[in-house]
Chain A
Amino acid sequence: SAVISQKPSRDICQRGTSLTIQCQVDSQVTMMFWYRQQPGQSLTLIATANQGSEATYESGFVIDKFPISRPNLTFSTLTVSNMSPEDSSIYLCSVTQTSGTDTQYFGPGTRLTVL
């Protein structure tokens, strides 16, 4: 399976600021996704990162709050904008590979704390 890395692994941020999370894959992948896991909760899909076009957002998530880029087949970023303590979560990227399987593989996650 693909090796997925995320930067930063964790961060503590101040209210009102923004943080950009990077997701890097060691091989070309078909699809890239961003999930959020709030404390004590399960994972929720934020959006699908589309190469060269705007991301597809799930209900309850908007581009102004979570802008996403995907400039190529191995890299994507998620920005959490104008943060509040409610944004404290683990943010995870996942990918499906071009090898034919639709299995999703997840990165290690970015643990964000907003003060």
Chain B
Amino acid sequence: DAKTTQPPSMDCAEGRAANLPCNHSTISGNEYVYWYRQIHSQGPQYIIHGLKNNETNEMASLIITEDRKSSTLILPHATLRDTAVYYCIVNRGSSNTGKLIFGQGTTLQVKP
């Protein structure tokens, strides 16, 4: 599975959009981009995933570049409860062996 690169930390003002980048330049054609977050040592929470089209759900939007080498997770109106470690993971989806490889993620601090 491809590796990902994320900035170690980011700040965001409450109420503003949080844009979290992820580089996955070695991604292959059958690999999905998944985003999870972990709030204060709780179990990771699934946020969203996509293959090549942009995706949106009630939590966030996922923007994947046309060459699929990078993506951005967007939290449209960040709140204090969005403070967490955000993990970008590349995985093979339907042929998944189950092996989610977690990097160090991005620690997002939402400030009042």
Contacts and interface: CB of A to CB of B under 8 A. Distances in A.
Contact-size category for A? 20 to 34
B98 A106 contact: no
A8 to B, nearest CB: 15
Main secondary structure of the interface of A (DSSP, over half): strand
Contacts of A106: 36, 43-46
B76 interface: no
A42 B105 contact: yes
Contact of A92 (B43, B49, B93, B97): B43
A102 B98 CA distance: 8
Interface residues of B, number: 23
Contacts of B91: 102
Contact of B100 (A1, A37, A104, A111): A104
A88 interface: no
Contacts of B87: 42
B46 A102 contact: no
Contacts of B49: 103
A45 B99 contact: yes
Nearest to A31: B98
Contact of A33 (B98, B102, B104): B98
A111 B40 CA distance: 12
A90 interface: yes
Contacts of B43: 4, 92, 94, 106-109
Interface in A40-72: 42-45, 48, 58
B81 to A, nearest CB: 17
A111 B41 contact: yes
Contacts of B42: 108-109
A97 to B, nearest CB: 11
Interface of A: 1, 4, 31, 33, 37, 42-45, 48, 58, 90, 92, 94, 96, 102-109, 111
20 contacts: A4-B43, A31-B98, A42-B102, A42-B104, A43-B44, A43-B100, A43-B102, A45-B98, A92-B43, A94-B44, A94-B100, A96-B98, A102-B91, A103-B49, A104-B46, A106-B44, A107-B43, A108-B43, A109-B41, A109-B43
